[in-house]
Chain A
Amino acid sequence: MYKISNVNFFIGKRLILKDLSFSIRQGEIFTIIGPNGSGKTTLLKLLTGFYKPSSGEILLDGIDIRMMTPKALSQKLSVISQNVNIQFPFTCFEVVMMGRNPKLANNQKPSKRDMDVVIWAMEKTNTLQYWDRLITELSGGEKQRIMLARTLAQETPYILLDEAFSDMDMHYVIKSMKLLRELVEQKGVTVVNIVHDLNLVYHFSDSVLLLNGGKIERLGHRVEVMKKENIEKTFKIRVESIKGRGMLILP
C-alpha cells in the first residue's frame, strides 16, 4: 500500500505538486489522468523514489521510500518510464533478463527459474520470437512490449507505468491492459498507470486520480471520476458519456 501525505514538490521555485495526500490500495489499478503539464509524470517519479518530495512523505508498505536502497526498491516495484532510449545493441533477451537483476547478486549466473520467468514474460507479451533481435532495431511498439516483458520478469508487487503503451497498436494495448488486470486478480499486484486514452481509463481502472495544475481535481472510483462534467471541465473538451460503455470524445 502507498500512503502519500502532504507532499509538495518544487523544481527551482516553481511548485509542481501542491499538498497531495491520498493512498493507493493493494491489488488495484490506480490510473492517473490529467492535461499536459498537470504533474502526472512528476507524481509517478515521486512514487518510484527517483525524485524526493520537497516536503511531506511517501510510505510504501509502511516504510519511508527515501530510506529504501535502489536494490530494495527494485524488488518492490518495477517501472516503465516515458521515452526509454537504449543506445547500445543489447538483444531483446538480454534486456528482459535485466529485469532479473534485482534478484541476482553481482556476477551471479541466472538460474533455471530466472530463465523460465524471462521466457514466460516474453511469451505473455508475444515477444519471444524477437528474443535474438537487437533492441536498437525494433519499432516503438515492439520496444514497449519488450519493456513490459522486462517489467513482468521483475516479478514485483507494484508496477508503475508512464504511458507505457503509447506506441503500441490497439490490439496490443488492450492485450497488455488485460494482462495487467490478470496480474492484479491472480497475484494481487498493484498497478499505477498514466494513460491518456479516456476510454481505456474507463475500462481498465479501479480508482482514478484526476490531476490538474499539480492539485487533485477528483479522486475516487472510476465511474465517479470519469463523469462528463469532470472531464469537460478539466480537459476543456466536449464528450458524450455512454452509460456503462465509456466515453465518446467529440471534436
Chain B
Amino acid sequence: MENYYKHLQLEYFRKNKYRVWIALAALTILMIATFFTSINLGRAYIGPRDIAYVILGRLFAREDILSLLDETTSAIIWDIRLPRILCAFFVGGGLAVSGTIFQSVLMNPMADSYTMGVSTGAAFGASIAIYLNIMAMGFAIPITAAAFLGAVLTLCIVMTLSKVRGYLSPVNLILSGIIVSSILSAGVTLIKNAAGENVGAIVGWMMGSLSSSSWSEVFLVLPVTALGTLIPTYFANSLNLLSLGDEEARFLGVDPEKSRRIFLTAASMITAACVSVSGIIGFVGLIVPHMLRLVLGADNRKLIPFSMLLGGELLLVADTVARVLLRMEIPVGVITTMLGGPFFLFIFIRKNRRRYV
C-alpha cells in the first residue's frame, strides 16, 4: 500500500509537469515562428536577415548594423510592423488573462470583460472623444485616454452598485455589469446618431482593429498587461479558492473581499488598456481560458501565465491574417469572432455531453 501512494505522488506530479512543459515548449516555438512570419508577410517583402539587423541595430543602438539596410525597409520593420505585432500579442494576451480572471472571480465560465461592462465603458469613452474631435473643439482629445477613463469609471460604478451592506457578490456584479453596459450601449448609439455623416469614424474604431498601432500604444498596453499578469499569477492560489465562492474561500483561509478587489482591479485595468488600444475584439477573452482548461485543468497558477501566451499567439495570428489575407484589411475583431464563435460552440457541446445534469 505504501508503494502505491509513492507511485501515485510521483505519477501525479510527473503527469502535470509533462503537460506544462510540453505546452510551454510548443507555445514558445509557435510564438517565435509566428513572430518572424508575421514581420515577413505583408505588401513589402522583408527577409529574416533584415529583421535580425533592425532589431539588433535598434536595441543596441548600432548605426553600423542599421546602415546595412535601406531606410524604407528599416522603417517598415521598426515603425510599422514591429509595434503592431507587439500590440497584437499583448492585447490578445491581456484580453485572455482578464477573461481567465473574470471567469474565476465571477464564478461563471461564460464571463469576460463584457460581462462587467468594462469594455462597453471604454467604447463609450472613445465614442465621446471621437464625436467631440469631429465637432472640432479646437483641440483633439486623445481617444485612447478617453477609452481608458471610460473603462475605469465604469468599473468603479459597477463595483459601487453591486455592494449590498458593504458586501460584494458575484451575482450582483454580473447583474449591475449588464445593466450599466446596456445603458452605455444606448449612449454609444445616441452618439453615433448625433455624429450623422461622420458615424464611420466611431464604427471603425469600435470594430476592433490594430492597424493604427504605434510605439505609444505598445508602451501603454505592455506595462499594464505585464503587471496585470504578474500580480494575479503571484496570488493565483487565492483565485482558485475564490472561484469556489465566498463561503468556501473564507473557510479555507482567504479573505474574499480583499482578494477579489486585487483581481478585479488587475483584470479591469488590462481590459481598459486593451480596448483603448484596439477597440472591441471579441471572443479571445472567452475562448482562451476554456482551451487551456481542457489541457491544463482549472489551476489559475498555470492558467494565467498560459493565457497570456496563448491569447497573444492567437491574436497575433488573427491580426496577421487580417492584414495579409485580402487586398484590403479586415477588422481583426471580425476574424476572432467568426472563428471563435463556432469553436466556442464546439467546446460548449462537448462539455455538456460529459456532465451530469
Q: Are A90 and B297 in contact (CB under 8 A)?
A: yes
Q: When chains A and B are docked, how far (Å) is the Cα of A115 from the Cα of B255?
A: 25
Name the residue of chain A whose CB is nearest to the CB of B104.
Answer: A88
- Which residue from chain B places its CB closest to the CB of A48 in the assembled complex? B251
- Return chain A residues, CB-CB under 8 Å to B5: 116, 119
CA distance A88 to B303 in the complex (A): 12
Q: Does B334 contact A (CB under 8 A)?
A: no
How far is it, in angstroms, between the C-alpha of A116 and the C-alpha of B240 when the chains are bound? 22
Chain A residues with Cβ below 8 Å from B248 are 81, 84
Q: Is A26 close to B, CB under 8 A?
A: no
Chain A contact surface mostly: mixed
Interface residue tally for chain A (C-beta within 8 Å)? 40
The smallest C-beta distance from A86 to any residue of chain B, in angstroms, reads 6
Contacts of B74 in A (CB 8 A): none
The interface on chain B, measured as residues whose beta carbon lies within 8 A of the other chain's beta carbons, has a size of 34
**Segment with Cβ contacts to B, from A28-36, A70-78, A179-187, A195-203:** A70-78
A214 at the interface (CB under 8 A from B): no
Contact B244 A84 (CB under 8 A): yes
As a 0/1 sequence over residues 37 to 75 of chain A, the CB contacts with chain B under 8 angstroms (1 = contact) are 000000000001110000000000000000001110111
In the docked arrangement, what's the CA distance between A116 and B252, Å?
Answer: 19
Give Cα distance in the complex from A49 to B251, angstroms.
9
When C-beta atoms are compared, the residue in chain A nearest to B296 turns out to be A89
Please report which residues of chain B, range 1-36, place their CB below 8 angstroms from some CB of chain A when the two chains form the complex.
5, 8-9, 12
- A165 within 8 Å of B by Cβ? no
A9 close to chain B: CB less than 8 A: no
Of A70, A94, A154, which contacts B255 at CB under 8 A?
A70
| Chain B residues within 8 Å of A234, by CB | none
Cα distance, A241 to B3, chains bound together (Å): 50
Chain A residues proximal to chain B, CB less than 8 Å: 48-50, 69-71, 73-75, 77-79, 81, 84-91, 93-94, 98-99, 101-102, 106-107, 115-116, 119, 128, 131-132, 134, 136-137, 139, 154
